[in-house]
């Protein structure tokens, strides 16, 4: 997978290319890992965009997404997503 500034392409479980849009990247001092938060522009049953997150290594030429496996890591990602959401909501006011 090539990770560029705004978008990247991954293969889904059917082997089809799926374009994803990067919403945020960040490093955690606690876990010493880098995370990418993104959407594949799919929507849930309520019409909200699905937000995904993965671990990635930013300094590699071919970036590989890795699953987030611990509850603590998900808490960190959720906190960052909520912070971004709050900042966006404040911009709209």
Give the span between the Cα atoms of 12 and 58, in whole angstroms. 21
Q: Is the pLDDT of residue 89 over 80?
A: no
Is the CB of residue 20 less than 8 Å from the CB of residue 5? no
pLDDT tens by residue, 15-40: 999 999 998 999 999 999 999 999 99
Residue 74 lies in a domain: yes
Angle at 5 between CA 34 and CA 85, to 5 degrees: 65
pLDDT category, 68, cuts 50, 70, 90? Answer: very high
Domain that holds residue 55: 7-92
Is residue 2 a part of any domain in this protein? no
In a domain, 1, yes or no: no
Would you say residue 16 lies in a domain? yes
Cα separation, 65 vs 63, in Å, equals: 7
Q: How many domains does the chain have?
A: 1
* Residue 66 and residue 54 in contact, taking contact as beta carbons nearer than 8 Å: yes
pLDDT in tens, 52-62: 999 998 877 77
> What global pTM score does this model have?
0.81
Cβ proximity of 80 and 70 under 8 Å: no
């Amino acid at each position: 997978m090539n990770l560029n500034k705004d978008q990247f392409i991954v293969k889904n479980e059917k082997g089809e290319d799926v374009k994803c849009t990067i919403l945020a990247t960040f490093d955690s001092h606690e876990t010493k890992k880098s995370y990418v938060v993104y959407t594949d522009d799919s929507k849930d049953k309520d019409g909200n965009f699905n937000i995904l997150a993965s671990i990635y290594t930013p300094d590699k030429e071919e970036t590989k997404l890795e699953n987030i496996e611990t509850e603590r890591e998900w808490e960190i990602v959720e906190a960052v997503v909520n912070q971004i959401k709050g900042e966006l909501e404040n911009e709209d006011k």
